[in-house]
Amino acid sequence: MKGESLITREKREIEARGDEDKSIDPANLEMFEVARRAGIETVFDRLERQEPKCPYCYTGVSCRNCVMGPCRITAKADRGVCGATADVMVARGLLRNTLGGTASHVDHARHVALTLLHAARGEAPYPIRDEAKLRSLGRALGIEGAESMPLRELAERVALLALEEIGATHANGGRWLRMHATQERLETWSRLGVLPEGGMLPVLEGMHRTSMGNDADPVNLILGCIKAGIADGFYGLHLSTDLQDVLFGTPRPKFSSAGMGVLEAEYVNIACHGHVPILSEKIVEAAEALQEEARKAGAKGIRVVGICCTGNEILERQGIPAVGNELNSELVVATGALDAMVVDYQCIFPSLAQIAGCFHTKLITTAPIVKIPGAEHIEFEERRADEVAKEIVRLAIESYRQRDPGKIHIPKFKTEVVAGFSVEALLEVLSKINPSDPLAPLVDSIAAGDIKGAVAIVGCNNPRVPHDLMHVELAKELVKRDILVLATGCAAHGHAKAGLMKPSGYRLAGERLQRVLKALGEAAGLEALPPVLHFGSCVDNSRINQLLKALAEKLNVAIKDLPVAASAPELTTEKAISIGTWAVALGVTTHVNPLPRIMGSELVTELLTQKAEELLGAKFIHSPDPRESADMLEEVILEKRRKLGLAA
């Protein structure tokens, strides 16, 4: 059966791996042995025990959507009990995955909008940190008097509109879409019938159409994926970023450090893990306020560090050190130096409780929708944010007293990182070169070929791929070819740890790109800009669209015609699938690896990897090899350059 040889090969490769093949992060390599000695199992061990993968699930030709099943397509059964074909199973499965991603981001956005509402009404202790952004949002949303209205009143109006948009049930939504999408895309999506009315409806509708006895047209189901991807981009990612910037400030470049070596044995170490800065920002504040209590407990102070995307959020705004990404999270606990790991939601392995149980470390869950047996649950209510954050930090101080110094092992690796490249920050740098037309220097560099193009490298880690290898090797290949890289999510952590996000990293770029990075860096008061720019968390992929829209409008071309592409080279979560779908819907060809479960349908594979280009001007591409992936992405960029009449 299709996929079987791939499954056998993957099993063989995974089982043959030594520690040195599982990760390129030197801290992980050191910790594998430490964890083994302590009898701790990790995601890498559990992966081996899941091999070989089920060939039906691997290729997407299985279904559990009703109780006549589960069904699968086999040599003797070319349909499920209800009559669903392989194409239908694959398309329905992919749509359900996309909905999982969209639901996660839209629910995150809803949480932020509610916090803004409570803050505006004086019911939650969050100030408005970016007045200019709030006023410009107010204007873009058509709120009369947004310029001069009292700040809290405007914040309440914006929050209520955001909630209304998220929950729009018919054609009453669309403001966030119109605010952030180009006219050309709105027309394309309208023609295809994939304009989402709001954030929640495409998820509701998608669950409905994929349940037994509904949509059985694989093409129509894939259009549902595109609609859900678009909803994710505008009502999940953009809405979250917009309101988080209002509440916590729009990022500006900040120096910090990345890697497991940011932990310090003499300090109370608290790791914030998850996605939403509503909690982690308060933990940072509470830690600052309680430094003295930590000193009284015998520590030198309190050190807050970040994991995954909430780590990116507090790095880009507060310069909080980044201790690692998804595939570091378990081994960070295994250092024995963590007094508390505080989690909100998304990408939190249930295994963390088991590992924390081997140490004094408190794993603290805080969201009503994320509870883990073995963890301590302290519900984080925004209205009592300061109080709860202090309670959590005090628990970490208490936990510090229980430490067993004999169990502590902190790898020394850490690297300098500059994060916080919002579009606003980038424009400020560019305006030092051309105050009246800040985008001009960027456009000129692209036109001249000094910047051949740009690739966004985003998304997760996946233990099926050696940890960070694709992120880092792909980025190195691209920057060497004068292609600028923008990164978010766990990819950004990987790049930071590998030294691609520090100013001196510019030397890894090709000569022409080096000159641009040097010039822009000097304008920003740095030695150079790093060759990989830290654009933030997963929801901050919105910032990449913000930049593309600005460039497209400046050049008067469609985004699909810009010399840009994207890659999720260690794809894991449903959220990465929905973000990738959004990118393709925007007109950005997107490389993915490993492949989602589509191989069991030639029709669906062809739709996504070929036909999508006719409909959207972009498609999915796949390669598991960093150099080959770079070749493919460079070819996409060169093709766009040729079409624009630019020299290669």
Helix, strand, coil share (%) of the chain residues, nearest 5: 55, 10, 35
Q: Which is nearer to ligand SF4, 71 or 113 (CB)?
A: 71
Q: Considering beta carbons, is residue 275 or 622 the nearer one to ligand MSK?
A: 275
Residue type at 6? L
- Applying CB under 6 A, does 308 fall inside the site for ligand MSK? yes
The whole-angstrom separation of Cα 247 and Cα 134 is: 9
Among 259, 459, 505, 587, which residue sits at the site for ligand MSK (rule: CB under 6 A)?
Answer: 459
Nearer to ligand MSK by Cβ, of 305 and 490: the residue is 490
216 lies in the binding site for ligand SF4 (CB under 6 A) = no
Give the range of 79-87, 451-459, 601-609, 627-635 binding ligand SF4 by CB under 6 A: 79-87
Distance CA(39)–CA(35), nearest Å, equals: 6
Which residues make beta-bridge pairs with 362? 340
Q: Which does 564 bind (CB under 5 to 8 A by kind): ligand MSK, ligand SF4, none?
A: none
Query: Residue 208, interface with ligand SF4 (CB under 6 A)?
Result: no
- The single residue among 14, 24, 35, 63 that binds ligand SF4, judged by CB under 6 A, is 63
Q: CA 610, 612, 615, 617 torsion: positive or negative?
A: negative
The residue from 81, 408, 427, 644 that contacts ligand SF4 (CB under 6 A) is 81
- Indicate which single residue of 6, 38, 47, 82 sits in contact with ligand SF4 (rule: CB under 6 A): 82
- Binders of ligand MSK in range 372-431 (CB under 6 A): none
Which of 240, 257 has the CB closer to ligand MSK? 240
Q: Is 573 in the site for ligand MSK (CB under 6 A)?
A: yes
By CB under 6 A, name the one of 263, 334, 490, 585 that touches ligand MSK. Answer: 490
Give the side-chain half-sphere CA count within 13 A for 347: 32
CA distance 159 to 244: 11
71 lines the binding site for ligand SF4 (CB under 6 A): yes
Q: Which does 65 bind (CB under 5 to 8 A by kind): ligand SF4, ligand MSK, none?
A: ligand SF4
Min CB(232)–ligand SF4 separation in Å: 25
β-bridge mates for residue 270, sequence order: 304, 340
Cα 512 versus chain centre, distance: 29
Cβ atoms of 543 and 423 within 8 Å: the answer is: yes
Query: Per-residue x/- mask for ligand MSK, residues 576 to 595, rule CB under 6 A?
Result: x-------------------
Closest CA to 570 of 59, 61, 43, 64: 43
Beta 564-568 vs 453-457: how paired, if at all? Answer: parallel
- Establish if 460 lies at the interface with ligand MSK (CB under 6 A): yes
The verdict on 617 binding ligand MSK (CB under 6 A) reads no
Extended strands (E) in 237-316: 254-258, 268-274, 302-307
3-class SS of residue 457: strand
CA 135 to CA 139: how far, in whole Å? 6
Q: Which is nearer to ligand MSK, 96 or 390 (CB)?
A: 96
Q: Footprint of ligand MSK on residues 534-563 (CB under 6 A)? A: 538
490 binds, among ligand SF4, ligand MSK, none (CB under 5 to 8 A by kind): ligand MSK
For ligand SF4, which is the closer residue by CB, 212 or 265?
Answer: 212
Q: Give, in order, the Cα–Cα distances in Å from 73 to each of 52, 84, 94.
A: 18, 9, 16
Query: Is residue 68 involved in binding ligand SF4 (CB under 6 A)?
Result: yes
Q: What are residue 453's DSSP bridge partners? A: 483
69 is a contact residue toward ligand SF4 (CB under 6 A):
yes
Interacting partner of 26 out of ligand SF4, ligand MSK, none (Cβ under 5 to 8 A depending on kind): none
Task: Find which of ligand SF4, ligand MSK, none residue 336 binds, CB within 5 to 8 Å per kind.
Answer: none
Contact pick of 1, 47, 57, 66 for ligand SF4 (by CB under 6 A): 66
12 binds, among ligand SF4, ligand MSK, none (CB under 5 to 8 A by kind): none
Phi and psi torsions of 258, nearest 5°? -140, 140
Calculate the alpha carbon distances from 576 to 10, 63, 295, 491 in Å.
22, 22, 42, 11
Which one of ligand SF4, ligand MSK, none is in contact with 70 (Cβ closer than 5 to 8 A by kind)? Answer: ligand SF4
Residue 309 binding partner per list ligand MSK, ligand SF4, none, with a CB distance cut-off of 5 to 8 Å that depends on partner kind: ligand MSK
Q: Which does 459 bind (CB under 5 to 8 A by kind): ligand MSK, ligand SF4, none?
A: ligand MSK
Q: Which two tokens stand for residue 158?
A: 């914006």
CA angle 606, 607, 610 (to 5 degrees): 65
Q: Between residues 533 and 576, which has the closer beta carbon with respect to ligand MSK?
A: 576
574: nearest Cα among 93, 101, 92, 91: 101
Q: Is 447 exposed, middle or buried (0-12, 13-18, 19+ CB in 10 A)?
A: middle
Residue with tokens 């051949």, as numbered in its chain: 452
Q: Which range binds ligand MSK by CB under 6 A, 18-26, 133-141, 549-557, 567-575?
A: 567-575
Residue 190 vs residues 63, 219, 230, 320, 636: alpha-carbon distances, Å: 31, 16, 12, 42, 26
The least distance separating ligand SF4 from the CB of residue 72, rounded to whole angstroms, comes to 9
Which residues of the shown chain bind ligand MSK in the complex (CB under 6 A)?
Answer: 275, 308-309, 325-326, 346-347, 459-460, 489-490, 538, 572-573, 575-576
Which residues of the shown chain bind ligand SF4 in the complex (CB under 6 A)?
Answer: 63-66, 68-71, 80-82, 84, 212
